[in-house]
Structure 1
């Protein structure tokens, strides 16, 4: 039976909750999973634990302000920065004793965070999987607005009216938003339990999501609205696997700068998926990721 253990890593005066599936002493570099948001939880990327069946430990954690880690509802925009989450990741790697050799899987915002981590060229990073992520939020918003225009006119009108009025917390806005999410975020209806848990967690404490992103995936008015890593992608010096879905809100136009600017890169688009191939085409996605990681280990 696969070993599973949970713990908390002290981070400054707070705590980062983590879970390790598998044995960190197996001799194979572990996979560290960075969840999205900012402001989601590890639940919706829980499927990555499947990788542990290959003999590689998998580390999930809830980023600060989310899930089972310390919540800080009173902190404002100046506190919630990319640097904060980079420091938290470094702290966790050190706490677990794996900073010398590890892989990263970053999904959506997790891929943004992972790319920021990778451009710093940490010595122990072996490879990174960037899944369903933008290298630029302006590009993300541009494509999200294009996808919005394909929604039924009534849904578009409802979204625009509430955004203009500042009433994006209304039930009507949430219902209209669901129409976009079922097309471009997760096409499994009803939403799988682990995905629903993450969305419920955001609703319970939207501090990080609302501050850094905004009220929805396509109405980005938070502190990340002008973020970009495109001009630094050439600094990434480890192999990169890009993953996206055919119906993804991270459209091919969004993902393309990663492919254009990273030296050692490959890209797979899952034809039956939107923003969550790790859920929508779980078995195929896990097989791809496991094969990629094994290949990098074989390269030494």
Structure 2
């Protein structure tokens, strides 16, 4: 069993449009000098922070792969930029691409043995766009409950909403019409949606998810600007986002997975499977958006991801 080593740090991050000094918080589980590629893990939200993904710290314990978690700019333990709330020109994909490049360079991960990347939800959207640039050092890619296109994601959400009880659908529609998202009927409907499609853990919310919920509620800057006022009402800067045209440029082995009941619906996964040259897609039965936190799936997902990241690549002769 690999010894558990933990290192925390802050990578200075210079943003051209901001005078103040900014930084990206990171946490390393394991030893970067182990000789195996570390796994850089990107969280969702945007704005959820890394803690709910600590399940993947066991990639070090079980497979000897160091794991690099980080909090994206604007949330959790990284620099907060609340004065940028609502600034649609600022909160764009490119900001997070720049931050990711900066972190990788700060940790000197581009040299041998390189690094793997695992992105969950929005982190997977970022990861697909990042991988399409064919960055130096990237070895393998995992897209966990990600989305290839926001328009497809919206269609998927509509399909899930149509399965909800009529009174709950009505509550959602009335809240959106009035732009009022604090009413008890709306919150009841949202809770139903979360328990069925976001995290299907028997005890909801699981302890592992609480930090993400706290991060998202305490500072809404990033989530509100990029996603919208509610998980079911998307009108932020990601509303027209797509990576579909860039997918054929991904040149590393890629694992795509989602859950059977995932908010990241199958229709938003199909472009990954059809357009990424070397790809495998798994849908986990009975899983939700946070299936890595759900009973009966956590260990299975760790095994699938760990074996994918450590398998020897077959080279054509």
TM-score by length of 1: 0.96
Alignment CA distance shift 1:165-1:296 (3 Å): farther
Of the three residues 107, 114, 122, the one matched with 1:109 is: 122
Q: What are the equivalent positions in structure 2 for 1:175-190 lying under 5 Å apart?
A: 175-188=188-201, 189-190=203-204
Whole-Å separation in 1 of the counterparts to 2:284 and 2:231: 20
Whole-Å separation in 2 of the counterparts to 1:70 and 1:169: 28
> 1:62, CA displacement in angstroms?
0.5
Residue 166 (1) aligns with residue 179 (2): yes
Superposed CA offset, 1:66-115 (max 9, x none): 11001101102211110000000011011111123100000010010001
Structure 2 partner of 1:223: 237
Of the three residues 281, 287, 305, the one matched with 1:289 is: 305
- Given that 1:31 and 1:58 are in contact with CA atoms closer than 8 Å, whether structure 2 keeps it comes out as yes
Structure 2 partner of 1:207: 221
Alignment CA distance shift 1:297-1:128 (3 Å): same
Structure 1 partner of 2:9: 7
Structure 2 partner of 1:136: 149
Whole-Å separation in 1 of the counterparts to 2:118 and 2:229: 25
TM-score by length of 2: 0.91
Structure 1 partner of 2:90: 79
Whole-Å separation in 2 of the counterparts to 1:297 and 1:277: 27
Residue 196 (1) aligns with residue 210 (2): yes
Which blocks of at least 5 consecutive residues in structure 1 are unaligned? Answer: none
Of the three residues 38, 46, 59, the one matched with 1:38 is: 46
Give the length in aligned residue pairs. 299
Structure 2 partner of 1:57: 66
> 1:174, CA displacement in angstroms?
2.9
Task: Please state whether the residue corresponding to 1:74 is helix, strand or coil.
Answer: helix
Whole-Å separation in 1 of the counterparts to 2:190 and 2:163: 13
Which blocks of at least 5 consecutive residues in structure 2 are unaligned? Answer: 15-20
> 1:254, CA displacement in angstroms?
1.4
- Given that 1:177 and 1:216 are in contact with CA atoms closer than 8 Å, whether structure 2 keeps it comes out as no
Structure 1 vs Structure 2 CA RMSD: 1.3
- Given that 1:145 and 1:218 are in contact with CA atoms closer than 8 Å, whether structure 2 keeps it comes out as no
Superposed CA offset, 1:30-56 (max 9, x none): 000010111111111110101011211
Structure 1 partner of 2:278: 264
- Given that 2:56 and 2:302 are in contact with CA atoms closer than 8 Å, whether structure 1 keeps it comes out as yes
Whole-Å separation in 1 of the counterparts to 2:106 and 2:183: 42
Structure 1 partner of 2:102: 91
- Moved segments of 4+, more than 3 Å: 169-172, 296-299
> 1:172, CA displacement in angstroms?
4.3
